Structure 1
Amino acid sequence: MTHSYEDRIDRVTAYIYEHLDEPLDLERLADVAAMSPWHWHRVYSAMRGETAAAAVRRLRLMRAANELANSDASVEAIARRSGYDNLQSFTRIFAEAYGMPPARYRREGSHTAFNPAQNGAPTPHYAVEVRHLPAMTIATEPHLGDYMNIGMAFDRLFGRLGAAGLIDQSTRMFGVYGDDPSAVPVDELRSSAAATLSSPPAGLPVTTTRAGDYAVLRHQGPYADMRAEYNWLFGAWLPQSGRDIADAPVLEEYLNSPRDTAPSELLTILYLPLV
């Protein structure tokens, strides 16, 4: 029965990600879950740590932040795509979540610090540490498609590990990214949600991360802003570092969760594999 509930909630999570442009009321999501509309949202909240309505709002705003930072779409178009016909309502709700109105976020968000051509500033220097990482045993859940949607893989992974009692205080969360988003079509991007396991039980499929040197950069702020950081790492830091990039996935370690953390307070460590 537990697995049945996990499957239903996974189905709802995937539906939310794939239908953010459509109305997502509780009754429609209850139909997707094949559960009573009176009680299913309590099950979702208990298993996912946030209500379905909060998840829809968070994911729409996260996508909006990504479009503001990385596209030329108008604020009005982004607002409509996020489900807000009233621009003032979108502006207020976005500012509550991201600390500034959308137009200002596009001009002054943390992503602009990594784009000197945009803000006219000299090339910045950020603290990058070269660190040797040991191999880590991880459980993974694959994801194919837009990296910004990897959250649904994390939901599946932590639903599975949580049901098996394998999550504890020592668990670390990683994203494993195998493709260059500037060179691979977005629907073909390969990645995995991953979690470290201190003592995996027999029969659980696991893998290990690459042991070796990594360029390590700590990021604070919305996930959408990290694209500019990667451009700086590859285009400015790496050429002058004297190092070559290894043929291995990029790792991101997530130190907190967007479910209970403001976007401006999200902490992520980027690991760029080196030879």
Structure 2
Amino acid sequence: MRLRGVRRSSNIEDRRRAGGRRGGAIGGLGIGGVLLVLAIGYFTGLDVTPLLDGEQQQSAPRELSQAEEQAGDFSASVLATTEDVWAQIFPEQIGRAYVPPVLVLFSGQTASPCGGASGATGPFYCPSDRKAYLDTQFFATLAQRLGARGDFAAAYVIAHEVAHHVQNQLGILGQVHQARQSATQAEANALTVRLELQADCLSGVWAAHVEGLLEPGDIEEALNAARQIGDDTLQRNAGRIPQPHTFTHGTSDQRARWFARGYESGQIDACDTFGARQL
């Protein structure tokens, strides 16, 4: 992805120099076992788990490595592209103004209104404060452990979390939250799958509008990332037989297809996963 000359977003809250926090968070963002470590783009839900003001330990401020500095610059530039794209798309396609989210960069652990966050949770979006959270060391996990290499795979991670913010602005997160309240666990999981696949599709819409910044192979990197983080692939890689009733993000094939659908159309309307008979 050609980011040289692309501005860096000012909507960055960098907590990495502050060091990590230990303790204080109750509940949290987990989806269980090894999938907690491997899942990407986890939607935390609208049930806010309060944070206790209990005893916390704050490590001393630290210097960032060159790799961390570069990851921060990369994230800020990618976020800027999402701001420009959605600021254009919202008025054109839905007749509304776009209000961008804040991206919180952290290292190790941090706190959010949706619970404690750690590198193990993977990137996530908290609708309560309208912020996306990212441990930039996850980029290395994405490439080395999940087999999703390339800068555009990393950019897709950020675009996916911003897509959850788009859903929040469109009122979709609230509607899904309400529907989940009276649903069985299997039904709630199925709703979350549709939510996540829609975020993948919206990520594809973003990709369609940054074509001038794309390099050969970028879209293939994003599609590969989508496949590597499908529920079925993650469960197989964890040594488990895939259990569809436990899926919360969709299969590898579904995630790649919905990203491709958004990319090929460039339209929000193409991402109606809730109206689709087949995913």
More strand by share: 1
Task: Calculate the TM-score normalised by the size of structure 2.
Answer: 0.26
Taking structure 1 as the reference length, the TM-score comes to 0.26
Structure with bigger gyration radius? 1
